[in-house]
A and B are shown apart, each in its own frame.
Chain A
Amino acid sequence: MQLLDWLFRKSSDDARSKAKDRMKQMLIHDRLELPPDRLSSLEEELVAVVCRYFDIDRDTTRFDLQQYERKASLIANFPLVRSKT
C-alpha cells in the first residue's frame, strides 16, 4: 500500500512539478487520442461494476493513467471494505 500511496502521491505545487504533471497527463491523452472526459466515464463504469461485488472506500479510490517508455497504462486502486452479500 505504501507503494501505491507513493505512486499516486501529490507532488509539490512549484512551477516545475506542475509543468511536469500537466505534461504527463497531456501527452498520455495526446498519444492515445483520448478525449478529456473519457477517463472519468470509464472510472464511473468500473466503480459501478466493482460496487456490485464490494463496498469500496470511495475516499481513497485512485484511478490514473501512467506511462512507461512511450506506452500508457491504466492504474486503478479500489480499497475494498467488505464483499457484498
Chain B
Amino acid sequence: MTGRVIVVTSGKGGVGKTTASANIGLALAASGPSVALVDMDIGLRNLDILMGLENRVVYNLVDVVEEKCKLRQALVKDKRLPNLNLLPAAQTRDKTAVNADQMKKLTEELKGMFDYVLIDSPAGIESGFQNAIAGAEEAVVICTPEMSAVRDADRVIGLLEARKDEISQYRLIINRIRPHMVKSNDMMSVQDVLEILSVKLLGVVPEDDQVIVSTNKGEPLSGSSDNQKAGQAYRNIAKRLQGEEVPFLNLDAMDATWFTKVVKFFNPARV
C-alpha cells in the first residue's frame, strides 16, 4: 500500500486546521479508506480532544520517533470507525523533539499502512511547520476571509511552491465564511480570496456554531449526516480529495471578474 500524505496547514493560528483535520479524517474514513490522523502540533496536543479520544492516548509521536514504542502501539483507534487512527502529539515536549528527517521516515512508514495520512500542523512557518510538511506530498492550506489569515496563507503557499518537487499540489479551504457579511460587502468573498491568492479551491466551510458543540462532544460534525453546514462542507471536501467532483456550496457567485478579463487582454493565450 502507498497512501497519500496530506498536510493541513495555514500559517496563521486558530483558523481551523485541527477542526478541519478531524472532520476530513472522519469523513474520509467513513467512506471506506483507511486513515491516519497525525497531530504534529507537538506541545499543544488538540486533535485527540476533537476526536474524543483523549482518554485513550498512551504513547505519542515523539515516543515513536525516540523508539520508546512501536508505531502500532502509539496509534489510537477511533471509537466510531476502526479504519481511522490517531497518532497523538506529545503534550509535554516541544517542536525540537523531532526533526524533518524523522518525520519523513515516520510518514513513509504510515504510508505503508494507510490510504490517507493526514497531518495537522502547528501554526507558524518555523521548525514545527517545516517538520509537518517534511514528508507531505500534498497540502491543504486553510484560511479565513480575513486579511491577516490571507496574508499568512500566501506566505505558506510561497513556501510550498518552493518545494514543488516534493509537494505536488496544494489546495485552499476557506473557513468561517459568513454569507450575510459578504452580501453586505463587509467581508471578502470566496471569489475575492481566490483572486488574491490565485490558488485552486478545495472547499468552503461556513461559520457554524455547531463546530464548538461538536468539539465539546468530541464528535466531529462530518460524522453525522444531520449537519448541513460545516459538516456537509467537510464531507464534500473529503469527496473532492478522493477525486469526486462536488459542486461548491453556493456562498457567492463565481463569475468572471475584471481580473480574468484583464488577463485576457494582456495575455490572451493563457485563458
Contact = CB atoms under 8 A, between A and B. Distances in A.
Interface of A: 3, 6-7, 12, 14-17, 19-20, 22-24, 26-27, 30-31, 66-70, 73
A57 B154 CA distance: 37
Interface of B: 147, 150-151, 154-155, 157-158, 161, 182, 185-189, 192, 195-198, 258, 262-263, 265-267, 270
Given A15-B187, A16-B185, A16-B186, A68 B267 contact: yes
| Chain B interface, DSSP helix/strand/loop, else mixed | helix
Nearest to A27: B154
Contacts of B157: 70
A7 B155 CA distance: 26
| Chain A interface, DSSP helix/strand/loop, else mixed | helix
Contacts of B182: 16
A26 B198 contact: no
Contacts of A24: 196
Nearest to A67: B198
17 contacts: A12-B185, A15-B187, A16-B182, A16-B185, A16-B186, A16-B188, A19-B188, A22-B147, A27-B150, A27-B151, A27-B154, A30-B151, A30-B154, A68-B262, A68-B267, A70-B161, A70-B198
A16 B262 contact: no
Given A7-B262, A15-B187, A73-B266, A20 B196 contact: yes
A79 B155 CA distance: 36
